[in-house]
Amino acid sequence: MKPSKKTKVNRAPKRGVYDKESIYKILDANYICQIAFVHEDFPVIIPTIYGRDKDHIYIHGATVSRMLLNLEKGFPISVNITQTDGIVLARSAFHHSLNYQSVTIFANASLVIDDLERLKALKIISDQIIPKRWEEVRLPSEKELKAPK
């Protein structure tokens, strides 16, 4: 993938990688993301869990949350996943650093309303956190799937 002006790493451009394999590796190794969006003309960042299925990211949230209420309107969002690989200590505090890998995604979200796709999304998210967990638990009831939480 060729980076755009919005996605290109500027401060240390040689550190930026844009191929799907590298991106998927980071996405698949983690399960917490930060969702940034604008709510009532003010930027908001919400941490949540996610799961990846091919080129789709499913994010978890309560149907009555301000995050999902805004996202279902198709507003633009930014999603960030960061994986800390190590803390770099130096003799001077100024030279301390952090080794990390991250992925930032810019998109317009859509709400999953189909019941079968919602179950699929919940399975993907559950298995992202603990592989094969979906097979070990009781599946959500219809009442739970419709709950506003």
Structure confidence by residue, pLDDT tens digits, 126-143: 999 999 999 999 998 888
Distance CA 131, CA 144 (A): 22
Instruction: Check if the beta carbon of residue 97 is closer than 8 Å to that of residue 88.
Output: yes
Strand partners, 54: none
CATH number of 16-146: 2.30.110.10
User: Domain limits of the chain?
Assistant: 16-146
pLDDT in tens, 54-92: 999 999 988 778 888 777 777 789 999 999 999 999 999
The beta strand positions in the chain, using DSSP E, are 32-39, 42-53, 56-59, 76-88, 97-108
CA–CA distance, 114 with 120 (Å, rounded to integer) = 10
